[in-house]
Amino acid sequence: MGELANVAQLTGIDAVRLIGMIVRAASTARMHKKNCRQFAQHLKLIGNLLEQLKISELKKYPETREPLEQLEDALRRSYILVNSCQDRSYLYLLAMGWNIVYQFRKAQNEIDRYLRLVPLITLVDNARVRERLEVIEMDQREYTLDDDDQKAQTVIFKPEPDKDDTAVLKKTLSCSYPNCSFTEALKKENEKLKLELQRSQANLDMNQCEVIQRLLDVTEVAAYSVPEKCSPEKKNKKEEYSYSNASSDKEHSSDEKYHTKIDKHLPSRYSVAQKDLVSTGGSYQEEDWHTDLLACCSEPSLCMKTFFYPCGTFSKIASVARNRPISSGEACNDLMAYSLILSCCCYTCCIRRKLRKMLNITGGFIDDFLSHLMCCCCALVQEWREVEIRGISGTEKTKTSPPPSQYMES
């Protein structure tokens, strides 16, 4: 609800102004600084192009108004993403590192997709515009998690952190809160994490709640490990009063119980949080398809192309699923061979299953088979649109992928 409210507050701001706001927010980011800068640089290219266009005039025409409005909605969500790297809890952003990296990739692909929907070349027959469109398409940014952030992320998920780990945490928080002491930084992080916990509870996201609760435990343990400096007043009081050996032993035993209580809860909470971070490449959890099976009509050109020439679309999907280039002729030969034994749907649904597992999409073998049995063309359109949305372009481009899993060694 908070993000929806923030999006509503940005209503009425055009695309050029939104890009300027994103660039300014990226310059003050405390986390994912490199990703924010790269994202802002990519949007500057788009902003320079949009400045040459009369957006108010383009909104008068139905063929350009809707894509521009969708582009502005995507830019509003992108502003909230970049702004969260400044306002939200540092430890929360650190724990959700690969998830946020995926959001940057998704945001860039979404913005570029909406930009291509606008028939700019037919409306503005300008050589400079065409050149800048080519530059935008060639400007493929790579988003990943910095090495220092990965080290800090490993520290906060250790079941039993030592003094060196506390020093690493102190160093990272000091960089994030340069004008605050370590104790004050922990206090601010604790407050922000409680707000994140309230959001997750409101969304009934129990997996996020467990992760955030683990981070709250980290702040509590770190705060407890900081030695308290005695003030002069306390020192005088200690000199005035003498305590018996029995009371000292009692206080000592209570401290041991407190330590035991913290150590007892941390591993159990972590074991749940550890499972939440395990997904495809360790970056995010399983998701559904971004487009519906019967939504192929929203891409009429791709739908018609797939209907009359399915081998072309299928070869591109198979190249991604098998992680090797497959020509249209090879795909056509395979389809014809399996058609002879009446198992063409079985072959195509196996490719769909490989693609679904590769992208970590929920579903089963029966769902894959029925999708291709009911409408093979719709299934192929859905699969290729999913590949385009995820920004995967086959085996030629090398991408930095997250680690295979994120867990602690006991």
Same domain, 186 and 310: no
Q: Do 135 and 12 fall into the same domain?
A: yes
Please state, in angstroms and as integers, the Cα–Cα distance from residue 306 to each residue in 311, 312, 375, 385, following that order: 8, 7, 12, 12
- Does 87 share its domain with 219? no
Angstrom distance (rounded) from CA 157 to CA 155: 5
Q: With beta carbons less than 8 A apart as the criterion, state whether 386 and 291 touch.
A: yes
**401, part of any domain:** no
Out of 94, 123, 144, a domain closes at 144
Count of CA atoms in the C-beta half-sphere (13 A) of 151: 12
Q: Would you say residue 400 lies in a domain?
A: no
Q: What is the pLDDT of residue 123?
A: 52
Q: What token pair was written down for 166?
A: 């506390």
Q: Are 72 and 15 in contact (CB under 8 A)?
A: yes
**126 and 15 assigned to the same domain:** yes
Q: Identify whether 251 is part of a domain.
A: no
Q: What is the pLDDT of residues 61-106, one digit of tens each?
A: 676 677 788 888 889 889 999 988 888 888 888 888 888 888 889 9
54 and 98 fall within a common domain = yes
Last residue of a domain, one of 111, 144, 177: 144
3-state SS assignment for residue 361: strand
One domain for residues 301 and 352: yes
Cβ neighbour number for residue 358 with a 10 Å cutoff: 16
Q: Is 351 helix (H, G, I), strand (E, B) or coil?
A: helix
Q: Quick check: pTM over 0.75?
A: no
Range of the domain at 86: 2-144
d(CA 7, CA 10): 5
* Euclidean distance between CA atoms 384 and 300, whole angstroms: 13
Dig out the tokens for 194 from the structure: 């409680």
CA-CA distance, 351 to 383, in Å (whole number)? 10
**Beta-carbon-side half-sphere exposure of residue 167 (alpha carbons within 13 Å):** 3
* The residue to which tokens 């679309």 are assigned: 313
Burial category of 154 from C-beta neighbours within 10 Å (exposed 0-12, middle 13-18, buried 19 and up) = middle
Q: CA-CA distance, 135 to 144, in Å (whole number)?
A: 22
* Domain tally, the chain: 3
Considering the domain architecture, whether residues 9 and 139 belong to the same structural domain is answered as yes
In a domain? residue 291: no
Q: Is 169 helix (H, G, I), strand (E, B) or coil?
A: helix
Displacement of CA 379 from its chain's centroid (Å):
26
Q: Which residues pair with 284 in a beta bridge?
A: 280
Along the chain (410 residues), what's the average pLDDT of each consecutive run of 10 residues?
54 84 89 88 86 71 75 89 85 83 89 74 53 79 80 76 72 78 82 86 83 81 61 42 42 45 43 40 59 78 85 86 83 79 76 84 81 82 84 53 49
Give me the pLDDT at residue 187, please. 83
| Other Cβ atoms within 10 Å of 194 Cβ, number | 13
Residue 98: both structure tokens together: 């690969």
Same domain for 162 and 137?
Answer: no
pLDDT in tens, 197-253: 888 888 888 888 888 887 888 777 777 765 544 344 444 444 443 444 444 444 444
30 and 123 share one domain: yes
Q: Are residues 16 and 140 in the same domain?
A: yes
Gyration radius of the chain's alpha carbons: 27
Q: Are residues 139 and 7 in the same domain?
A: yes
Query: Is 341 in a helix, a strand, or coil?
Result: coil
Determine, yes or no, domain membership for 232: no
Residue 237 within any structural domain of the chain: no
Task: Specify if 128 maps to a domain.
Answer: yes
In a domain, 122, yes or no: yes
Q: Let me know whether 27 and 93 are in one domain.
A: yes
Tokens standing for residue 355:
């693609």
